Amino acid sequence: MARVLVCLFLLFSTIVFAATPEEQLLQTDRDFQHATETKRAEGMAPYWAENAVVPQNPPLAGKQAILLHYQKAFADPDFSLEWIPTKAEVFAAGKLGYTVGNYVVRFKDKTGQRMQQEGTYITVWKKQDDGSWKVIEDTGSEAGPPHPAK
């Protein structure tokens, strides 16, 4: 009888405490940030879809172009990119979603002074056939000009 009760409790707690699609997507973005923070460009690679786009000037189209861009940026040991996701939404069909949050980029300017740039971002995600989420578009907006790092 005790085994049955334990099994029922575990089943019930799994159902009650299962993460919502939004919580799962928010955690995926946190994992993406942690992988980038610890492994830099190499950590980013698994999170990009093959057809991802970063609409900057000029636009980056495709996973390889995006990774090449970030490999060059992260080759500079003074470059860092951090972000904090604050919200996720998954559309009704469950295949597309987005996360938003705040980011900070740190780097040295041409004079060697440590600088930082803050802003907000939106990342669009697509759920893959295996259940994982991949970035299909990523963009942001600067909060102001770069300034000396804190």
SS3 77: coil
Domain-embedded: residue 10: no
As a whole number, mean pLDDT of residues 122-149 equals 96
Domain-embedded: residue 9: no
Domain-embedded: residue 111: yes
Q: What is the CATH number of the domain that holds 82?
A: 3.10.450.50
Task: At 11, give phi and psi (nearest 5°).
Answer: -65, -45
Binned at pLDDT 50, 70 and 90, residue 2 comes out as: low
CA distance 28 to 121: 15
DSSP H or E stretch at residue 140: strand 133-142
Question: How many domains are contained in the chain?
Answer: 1
Domain-embedded: residue 7: no
pLDDT given for residue 16 in this prediction: 46
Domain-embedded: residue 8: no
Domain-embedded: residue 77: yes
Task: At 85, give phi and psi (nearest 5°).
Answer: -70, 135
Query: pLDDT for 78-109, tens place per residue?
Result: 999 999 999 999 999 999 999 999 999 999 99
Query: Residue 83: which domain range?
Result: 20-148
pLDDT given for residue 17 in this prediction: 58
Domain-embedded: residue 133: yes
Domain-embedded: residue 117: yes
